[in-house]
Amino acid sequence: MTPLLTLTGDGTFRALTPERCEALGLPEDPHLSALMRLRSLLGDDLEEQLAARLYLPAALGLDETDHLLPATLALLAETTGDLVSYGWRLGAGTGLAWQHARELRERTLDAARIALLGYEGLLTTTALGPATLSAATYLQSGERTLGDPGAVRDLPMLLAEGLADHLAAVAERVPGAHRHLLLREDAVAGVHEGRIPTPSGRRRYAPLAAPEIGMLWRSLVVALESVGLGADAITFGVGADATLLRAARDAGVRRMSLSPRRMPALDTAAGVALWEGIAEAAEQGCSFELVVDPRPGGRLVPEVERMFEIWRRLGHSEHSAAGITVIAHTGAAHDVHSGRVDPSAQPEVSTLLDETAIEALLRLAPSYAERLAA
């Protein structure tokens, strides 16, 4: 039976404190304790029609290299670089920070062998998508990767090859897990709208048209399909723009994550176009996942209520939204999306998801599942 609602996280999980590990009876190793705690929260379906999707934490926030950007860069095949004063730079030679990011991924994989012994459910790997990587990284020249069309075109293939190797390593360590991939495109709006600043800050890079971004996604989808990861096992963050939604569909994307907070109101032209695109995609079999902030004081309740209201105004019943996935998130990506935070900036530990947020989502979920069942 297809669950009414599936719960998961955004791919990050703040490392537990030693005091918290002691209270929960978990080992001191941060990677092992994080995975064991996540498995206890999301490792089993909660009830008959309420499911959970476990994920490997790509970032624990242990140091400046333990965040989603360096974790993704550590995946890129045949690519080297380092952390410099202005951000993460791609180039000749592997620096200490880059090497450390690779070591952190290996530690997570090694911890998974122990913490996820016998696990047979869905297991998500999280990475940043190629559009966001192009805006968040720099070349040897000091320019962002976004300024070099050739380098941008290379990113999907480098990412796909690295992900294939990583997913094979996951399968070796957790053989019963079913692979799933979450690709976060936190900065795709800035890339598409031409809002990414050059290093001098005096101008902006030219906007990348939606079909061009779609070609990056298409290259990635095709490359991943060639190693056995179908489109139904990949969730793309596609922003909140109707043209990007169309580009994703044309690229073969079948699962998309959307944030209610970013979406334009239904009484605007942009809102009408986006919501009509969502409804059309849903009718053609595409699936959607909602990115929400469930923390106390967060916006989960008003955001989900707004989604239900708009869905009803479009003539659909709440039951027709059954099967949706909700992704817990702290809201940090919204600041990147809006341009308040540069995608290359080093994030604060507070931007990472923690157990409090996941627990809050678990408490609220049953009431929404009941509405979807009605």
Which pLDDT does position 298 carry in this prediction?
A: 62
Q: Do residues 31 and 21 touch, judged by C-beta distance below 8 A?
A: no
Which pLDDT does position 259 carry in this prediction?
A: 87
| pLDDT one-digit tens code per residue, 210-236 | 999 999 999 999 999 999 999 999 999
Alpha carbon separation from 1 to 5, 119, 246 (Å, rounded): 12, 20, 30
Which CATH number is 229's domain given? 3.20.20
Cα atoms in the 13 Å half-sphere on the side-chain side of 204: 12
Which pLDDT does position 237 carry in this prediction?
A: 93
> What range does the domain containing 169 cover?
5-373
| pLDDT one-digit tens code per residue, 301-341 | 677 777 778 778 878 777 777 888 999 998 888 788 888 89
- Cα(184)–Cα(182) distance, rounded to whole angstroms? 6
Which pLDDT does position 299 carry in this prediction?
A: 63
* 141 CA to centre of own chain: 29
Which pLDDT does position 264 carry in this prediction?
A: 87
Q: pTM for this one? A: 0.95
Collect the ranges in the chain with pLDDT lower than 70: 1, 45-46, 297-301, 374
Which pLDDT does position 293 carry in this prediction?
A: 87
Tokens 């061009």 sit at which residue? 212
List strands edge to edge, sheet with 81-84.
81-84, 87-90, 137-138
Which pLDDT does position 309 carry in this prediction?
A: 80
| pLDDT one-digit tens code per residue, 255-270 | 999 888 888 888 899 9
Cα atoms in the 13 Å half-sphere on the side-chain side of 43: 17
Question: Cα torsion for 260, 261, 263, 268, to the nearest 10°?
Answer: 120
Which pLDDT does position 36 carry in this prediction?
A: 97
Q: What are 23's strand-pairing partners?
A: none
Count of domains for the chain: 1
